[in-house]
Amino acid sequence: MRIKRGTTKKKAHKKVLKQAKGYRLSYHRLYRRAKEATLHAGQYNYNHRKKRPAQMRREWIKIISASLYGSGLSYSEFINQLKNKNIELDRKVLAEVAGSNPEHFKQLIAEVS
């Protein structure tokens, strides 16, 4: 008996084309192109999920460093003095305080200096 798989194939193709929605040129129209593009996109997504924490840490460091600009302290000196005074605030919290409550951050700088 002959097996017809048209509906199964169409369902699989539609799934891939739905994932490729928004891709440019023929990558959202043609199945072969879309399949290739979604495989690459998935790989990039996986790799970049691993890199995201490091990117966030760099952003926090930039925010803290920018907030220290007028105080006469460099970022490395500030972090070192925090460790010497046993003030255990991570960079995420420091960046949040520097962005949302600058006066509290200035008190922290005064306490450390």
What is the architecture of the domain spanning 6-112? Orthogonal Bundle (1.10)
Domain ranges of the chain: 6-112
Per-residue pLDDT of 94-108, as tens digits, reads 999 999 999 999 999
Per-residue pLDDT of 14-63, as tens digits, reads 999 999 999 999 999 999 999 999 999 999 999 999 999 999 999 999 99
Amino acid (1-letter code) at residue 88? E
Please state, in angstroms and rounded to a whole number, the distance separating the CA atoms of residues 23 and 63. Answer: 34
Confidence of residue 2 (pLDDT cuts 50, 70, 90): confident
